[in-house]
Amino acid sequence: MAERVLRSGRRGYGRRMVGAQSSLWRLDGVLLVAVAALCVIGTLLVWSSTRTWAPGSTGLVKKHMLNLGIGVVLCAMTTAIDHRAMRAYAPLVFLLSLVGLGLVISPLGATINGSHSWILLGGGFAVQPSEFAKLGLLLILAMLLAQPAEGSDRPRTFDIVLALCVAALTMGMVMLQPDLGTALVLAVITAAALIIGGVRKRWIVGLTLVAVTGVFLVFRLQLLEPYQIARFTAFLDPGVDPRGVGYNSTQSLIAIGSGGLFGKGWLHGGQTTGRFVPEQHTDFIFTVAGEEFGFLGSVAIVLLLGVVLLRGLRIARQCDDRFGTLAAGTIVCWFAFQTFVNIGMTIGIMPITGLPLPFVSYGGTATFANLIAVGLLQSIRIREQQQYA
């Protein structure tokens, strides 16, 4: 029996769930190892980039490890919950995240590093509800779009409209902070849910047109903050103002480029030690890897993230229920977008947006949200073959 469980756990076919112990065998080990490796690398990088200035030099890396610990617990808890139960809780989770976003906009919100997206908890801890909002939106969209219309495998029009309203509401609240980066992630989550959910192509084309028009209007009506436009123009031509807006991308390129093929060795990055790249332990953590671990190390990180994405896609493909597939696929899109935009901005192929690198960047709430998402993937994976009773 045990042997059969093991085999079928690998293959994932012809199985019925029997007890918690056997379901552990069904966990995606490769995904877990990849995520764990990224967390370890992230810790090394956070240490390297904060040791020269953090309180007691270990202050931040200890906090980061604590965050990871909490994240692992949250991940395990999420794994334990049946994802179908999650589907039932989705509206609640979503509402909670909306409340969180509301609190940020309310006088309780706090500004850290120029972004007004925090709620202070006391004791030096703070949460960023916008990170949870990604999860909340993802779940409610999966819930809405997982119910196909009668005799069809496409979502109902009503659900699509509802999904769009929910997405617009969340994005609107995030934009009030304002946090353009997270809003973009939410847009990607929405788009991914709609596309994977199987909405008609005309919907997709139509919404794309709306989005393009919207972006055009935003630029024409000058709804963006000047710094946001400056970042964009600096991306198009970093030479415009290398001391000002172009500084980040120039310094980030110098740090990564100077790492060469093999890197300068852990804790030996001169650019990192000299703190030439701003926000290096959070949004620009990849520059530490680039400088100290070189091309080989950078590519290893990209490959590990690739493993996470591909395993996520595999879970989505192999799941038998629409909710699971939709949720897993959307999580992959979320991670993929953040990975590409984050690494892309450090190597000058994307504009600078304040998005952390999943599992690697310092940041409590983001770590929690990412690890919960991994827990969700595992939960879907464990129960992929179970049909509705």
Partner 1 sequence: MIRMRSRLFVLHVLVLSLLVVLGVRLWQVQVVRGQEFVTRATETRTRTVIEPAVRGQILDSSGRPLVRNQTALVVSVDRTALARTPDGGKSVLRKLSAVLGTPVKKLRERIRPCGPGVSQPCWTGSPYQPVPVEQKADTRQALQILERQEDFPGVSAEIQSVRQYPGGQAGAQMLGYLQPVTEAELEKRAGLKAAYSGVDLAGRDGLEEVYDEALRGKPGMRRVQVDRMGKAIGVEQQVRPVSGDNLITSIDARVQAVAERALARAMHNAPKADGGAAVVLDARTSRVLALASAPSYDPAVWAGGISASGYQRLLSPKSGMPLVSRAINGQFAPGSTFKVSSVTAMLRAGYPLNGTYDCPGSYMVGDRAFNNFHGIGLGTMNLHTALVKSCDTIFYRAAYEQYLRDGGRDPKKKPREIFANTARAFGFGRPTGIDLPGESSGRIPDRRWKKEMWTLTSGTNCRRAQTGYPEVTDRARADFLKRLASENCAEGFILRPGDSANFSIGQGDVLVTPLQLARAYAALVHDGKLRSPRIGWARVRPDGTLVQTYDVPVVGKLPLSEKERLYIKNALSEVASDGTAAGAFAGFPMDKVRIGGKTGTAEVWGKEDTSWFASFAPTNDPRFVVVAMVSQGGMGAQTAAPAVREIYEGIYGIKGPAALPGGKPVSRLPKFAPDGTVAR
**Interface residues with partner 1 (CB under 8 A)?**
52, 153-154, 192, 195-198, 251, 253-261, 270-271, 273-276, 290, 294-295, 298-299, 302-303, 305-306, 309-310, 313, 316-317, 320, 322, 325-326, 329, 332-333, 336, 339-340, 343-344, 347-349
Residue 367 CB, nearest approach to partner 1 (Å)? 22
Indicate the residue among 173 and 194 with the shorter CB distance to partner 1: 194
Indicate the residue among 87 and 101 with the shorter CB distance to partner 1: 87
Residue 53 CB, nearest approach to partner 1 (Å)? 9
- Spatial separation of the C-alpha atoms in residues 85 and 143, rounded to whole Å: 11
- Spatial separation of the C-alpha atoms in residues 188 and 183, rounded to whole Å: 9
Indicate the residue among 101 and 327 with the shorter CB distance to partner 1: 327
Residue 70 CB, nearest approach to partner 1 (Å)? 29
Indicate the residue among 290 and 358 with the shorter CB distance to partner 1: 290
Residue 128 CB, nearest approach to partner 1 (Å)? 25
Contact status, residue 327 vs residue 372, Cβ threshold 8 Å: no
Indicate the residue among 186 and 199 with the shorter CB distance to partner 1: 199
Please report, to the nearest 10 degrees, the dihedral formed by the alpha carbons of residues 11, 14, 16, 22 taken in order: -30
**Which residues are CB-contacts of 143 (< 8 A; sequence separation ≥ 6)?**
87, 90, 91, 323
**DSSP SS3 for 247:** helix
Indicate the residue among 63 and 264 with the shorter CB distance to partner 1: 264
Residue 261 CB, nearest approach to partner 1 (Å)? 5
Instruction: Look up residue 327 and give its amino acid.
Output: A
Question: What are all long-range contacts of 107-116, with beta carbons under 8 Å and residues at least 24 apart?
Answer: 109/177, 113/279, 115/177, 115/179, 115/354, 116/177, 116/178
Indicate the residue among 120 and 303 with the shorter CB distance to partner 1: 303
**Which residues are CB-contacts of 169 (< 8 A; sequence separation ≥ 6)?**
98
Residue 290 CB, nearest approach to partner 1 (Å)? 7
Residue 154 CB, nearest approach to partner 1 (Å)? 7
Residue 177 CB, nearest approach to partner 1 (Å)? 27
Indicate the residue among 174 and 188 with the shorter CB distance to partner 1: 188
Contact status, residue 93 vs residue 129, Cβ threshold 8 Å: no
The pair phi, psi for residue 144, each rounded to 5°, is -65, -45
- Spatial separation of the C-alpha atoms in residues 203 and 191, rounded to whole Å: 11
Q: How far apart are the first and last CA of the chain?
A: 23
b or e along 320-355 (b: 16 or more beta carbons within 10 Å of the residue's beta carbon)? Answer: ebbbbbbbbbbbbbbbbbbbbbbbbbbbbebbbbbb
Indicate the residue among 74 and 142 with the shorter CB distance to partner 1: 142
Angle between helices 285-318 and 322-346 (to 10 degrees): 160
Residue 317 CB, nearest approach to partner 1 (Å)? 5
Contact status, residue 339 vs residue 188, Cβ threshold 8 Å: no
